[in-house]
Structure 1
Amino acid sequence: MIPPRRLQRLVQVAASPQCYKAYLPCRQYSSNALDFETLRTSMLSRPEKLTYDILSPTPTHLLNISLSDFLPPSCHPPIFNPSSALSSGLSPSKATPPQPLPEAHHLVYFPPQLPASGLTPDGTDPFHSPGAPFDRRMWASGSISFNKPLLVNRQQVVCRESLGDVTVKGRPGEEKIFVDVWRRYGEDDGFVAGEEAITERRSLVFLRRRSAEEAREVAREGVRDGRVVKAPHKPTFNHTLLPTSTLLFHYSALTFNAHQIHLNPTYCREVEGHRNLLFHGPLSLTFMVSVLRSQLGKDERVKKIDYRNLAPLYAEEPLTVCVRQNGNGEDMADGHKKWDVWVEDSRGGLCVKGSAVSNSA
């Protein structure tokens, strides 16, 4: 076992964005030794990060435009009209009162504020990373509670981000490190836990890097893999779309996301072992919320959603977003409704599994 003081040296983060690389270990882990407790203690000591943004209508408007070719009109937010938006652009009347930010649209605000030199080798934020050789990051699961609306009123809001837990799974040499990221969004950075407008948990998994030959072999096996896990239910509503590389680029740009698995096909094949660009985890979540929204009543809104990414989705391959009301269509005692929402690939395989709760606005 590597001595703890040699394994990890965490330096104080300075004001310069480049200094976020100080979160990464100064030494790499050996192939068969991982001092997990030292790693966990070090990661959980990273200070809370505050990211400020202005709730301008531009990001949510551009997200609506980006999704408009891939969703039927019933799945668009009520405030978005594709025909008028595409012909006249964003020109709201000064008399129009501020509108609530559509659910899941907060994901295109509060981006990582780092230059390319401050990112990890795969183009991601080092704040979440355990360091080399765990250089491959995937979005595993998460949950979002929409506690109260954030208004698109051009006012400053804040995201308070911290690491909630770090766990390791797998045998020595094949470990997977799971990192829970908590993000709380509110109008004032002085809010206390429980008072935020949106509460979000993201579970990221970090995997050991692959050699070029390992990546090519994994890609070949993925093409040959005939296993399909089906959803346990039939949907009451579904929508099929063909995600393009342009859609993935637009979403990466809106989220200031330089993760190479969404942008670089060569990187996907030769480093990660995937046959094509990967569909973003938060983008699949956005589609799930959008399709679910189409099944809600006029005064209903999504209150909470939990989801788990089970298998990759790829650009240029059809996917289907599915929804069904849980509990035989009956409302819960408090008037809320439960929903199953999931995403299938072109073979009908279950790739994202979710459950949601809606209530009256």
Structure 2
Amino acid sequence: MSDTNSQFPHLREWIGQSETVVDEITRAPVRAMNATLDYPEQEIPVGTPLPPLWHWLYFLPAHRQSDLGPDGHARRGGFLPPVPLQRRMWAGSQFEFHAPLQVGDSVRRVSTIDDVTVKEGRTGILVFVKVRHDIFREGYAESAITEFHDLVYRDVKRPGDVEPAPTAARTDAPWQRIVEPDDVLLFRYSALTFNGHRIHYDRDYATKEEGYPGLVVHGPLISTLLIDLVRRQAPDREIASFKFKAVRPTFDGKPFSLNGALSEDGRTVELWAADHEGWLTMQATATLI
């Protein structure tokens, strides 16, 4: 994969741009996510800690309907650079959890374009955008969460494009949970995160326009389910850091597995997701305290 930054030099002008969004950690999204992840109904008093990654239920984009593109994403430009490629994917993220957010908190997220890189891949030009998010609780000078968010842009799939060969997932997971990704689950998660990307709920668009075999399961949903596996298997431990990388798309209609293995010293958990054929779709690592 060669470096071709000279092809889109104007995109690197976005490095350093930032925006700030304020919000409140309210009860309703927590209650809805509990139901979506199949937890029983429970009281959610002020001061309830927000589980890791549930901050994605807040700071939601509120683009005007007229500002959305044909794929359901906001049109290019503004905070994110105007990448002239049609497909945008969330490739991975890295997190440091410094302090828990709590129901009732007033919060502020400062987002900064950390890097923009253009590369030549086997299927054409790829543009990688790294965004840093720092989330602060009102009254605290130090951030509660530091997140790096990796986006990759690529052109539409062309006839003859060859996808990378799949990787077989490990089959020795001490922890495992099977998930049935039906269209209701995908719709509920899209609604919770105000995600208009049509590949997650519009089957005709996903299959006929973008060439997928079905609806695409959200990468953030899979990563949330992976970190939730840690919460279920090690409920007395806290998660200090987490990182994940999307390896291969997961589609609705077939079950996929969430897998985890705790290290011998009990400090880290290797996590991975696999589709119904056993191919690796996401890999992740959580550090525990």
Whether these two folds match at TM > 0.5 is yes
Distance 1:350 1:171, change over 3 A: closer
In structure 2, give the amino acid aligned to 1:161.
S
* Structural mapping, 1:248-259, within 5 Å: 248-259=186-197
Q: Distance in 1 between matches of 2:144 and 2:186?
A: 28
**Distance between the aligned counterparts of 2:133 and 2:92, measured in 1?**
14
2:31 aligns with 61
Instruction: Summarize the alignment of residues 93-132 of structure 1 with structure 2, pairs less than 5 Å apart.
Output: 96=45, 98-125=47-74, 126=76, 127=78, 129-131=80-82
Distance 1:270 1:34, change over 3 A: farther
The CA distance in 2 between the partners of 1:196 and 1:139, in whole Å, is: 23
Match of 1:44 in 2: 15
Change over 3 Å in CA distance of 1:238–1:164 after alignment to 2: same
Distance change >3 Å, CA 122–CA 189, structure 1 → 2: farther
Partner of 1:256, secondary structure, is coil
TM-score, structure 2 as length reference = 0.89
Partner residue in 2 for 1:4: none
Question: What is the CA–CA distance in structure 2 between the aligned matches of 1:174 and 1:187, rounded to whole Å?
Answer: 42
Tell me: CA distance 1:199–1:291, structure 2 relative to 1, closer, same or farther (3 Å).
same
Q: Deviations over 1:320-351 (max 9, x none)?
A: 0000012xx224xxxxx111001000011110
- 3-state SS of 2:131 partner: strand
Identity of aligned residues (%): 28
Extract unaligned runs of 5+ from structure 1. 1-31, 69-75, 77-81, 86-90, 332-336
What SS does the aligned partner of 2:147 have? strand
Structure 1 window deviating more from structure 2 (289-298 vs 53-62): it is: 289-298
Which residue of 131, 135, 146 corresponds with 1:181?
131
2: CA distance between counterparts of 1:243 and 1:269?
17
Matching residue of 1:167: 117
Aligned length: 284
Look up the equivalent residue of 2:198 and give its one-letter code.
Q
SS of the residue aligned with 2:181?
Answer: coil
Q: 1:260 aligns with which of 190, 193, 198?
A: 198
For 2:47 and 2:231, locate their aligned partners in 1 and report how far apart those are by CA, in whole Å: 20
Work out the CA distance in 1 between the residues paired with 2:209 and 2:16: 31
Partner of 2:33, secondary structure, is: helix
Cα RMSD over matched residues? 2.6
Residue 352 of structure 1 aligns with which residue? Answer: 282
Aligned-partner Cα distance in 1 for 2:217–2:109: 24
Find out whether 1:158 has 2:105 as its counterpart: no
Paired with 2:122 and 2:249, the residues of 1 have a C-alpha distance of: 25
Give how far 1:34 is off: 6.2
Cα offset for 1:313? 0.5
Residue of structure 2 equivalent to 1:330: 265
Q: Matched residues in 2 for 1:349 and 1:173: separation?
A: 21
The separation in 2 between residues aligned to 1:324 and 1:253, in whole angstroms, is: 32
Greater C-alpha Rg: 1
Counterpart contact for 1:308–1:352, Cα < 8 Å: yes
1:201 equivalenced with 2:148 (yes/no): yes
**SS of the counterpart of 1:49?**
strand
1:280-306: per-residue Cα shift (whole Å, max 9, x none)?
1110111001011122152x1111111
Secondary structure at the counterpart of residue 225 of structure 2: helix
Counterpart CA distance in 2 for 1:156 and 1:172 is 45
Report the TM-score, using the length of structure 1 for normalisation. 0.72
Tell me which residue corresponds to 1:10: none
Deviation of the 1:232 alpha carbon: 4.5
**C-alpha distance in 1, partners of 2:79/2:282?**
22
